[in-house]
Amino acid sequence: MTRLIFLGPPGAGKGTQAKMLSDDCGVPHISTGDILRSAVVAGSDLGNQAEGYMNAGELVPDQLILDLIQERLNQADTETGWILDGFPRNLPQAEFLTHLLDQISQPADFVINLDVEDEIIVARLLNRGRQDDEEKVIRNRLQVYRQQTEPLIEFYRARQQLVSVDGNQTMEAVHGSLQRVIIG
């Protein structure tokens, strides 16, 4: 049973690390960014509503995300656990998640904060070449992260769920650190 929440700035390597751990542990990797990008490609209502916010580096409105995550965490493949990547992104989302996990009796084991320096983040994101990885948008996503998501570090620290992992290392070294956290 593995239930993890990943925090960290855009470009910290959350997606890559979450995917590797999901393979190690055999639990689904749930990325709200991936779900939204698929919705944009599919041209669904959700995608059409989310696209403008994503391209500007803003968070999409909570109302689009909360139902989606509730539905996803109620699917059968989450019985053995899950790894959340990109959710929660602000305090209302974190409060909603705490309540939801209580309701479905699935408390998170840890909240992992992948800690990475700003210069490294910008360099990594500029290299990635995703549609929302243009420099102006990157800077906005970093600002949105600092204002809305970073306060969650204190939220989870106060609940004694936070574990910080140094993300300024090679992909393999970060993976190793994360495996040690999970094994305990």
Q: Which of residues 6-35 bind ligand AMP (CB under 6 A)?
A: 10, 32-33
- Candidate ranges 58-66, 101-109, 154-162, 167-175; the one touching ligand AMP (CB under 6 A): 58-66
Angstrom distance (rounded) from CA 175 to CA 75? 27
User: Half-sphere exposure of 159 toward its Cβ, with a 13 Å CA cutoff?
Assistant: 15
**CB hemisphere CA count around 83 (13 angstroms):** 22
Instruction: Take residue 116 and report the two structure tokens written for it.
Output: 């990475």
53 binds ligand AMP (CB under 6 A): yes
CB of 176 to ligand AMP, least distance (A): 23
3 interacts with ligand AMP by CB under 6 A:
no
Q: How far is residue 136 from each of residues 9, 40, 86, 143, measured CA to CA in Å?
A: 16, 21, 20, 11
Query: Any contact of residue 57 with ligand AMP (CB under 6 A)?
Result: yes
Where does this chain bind ligand AMP (CB under 6 A)?
Answer: 10, 32-33, 36, 53-54, 57-60, 65, 86-87, 89, 93, 141
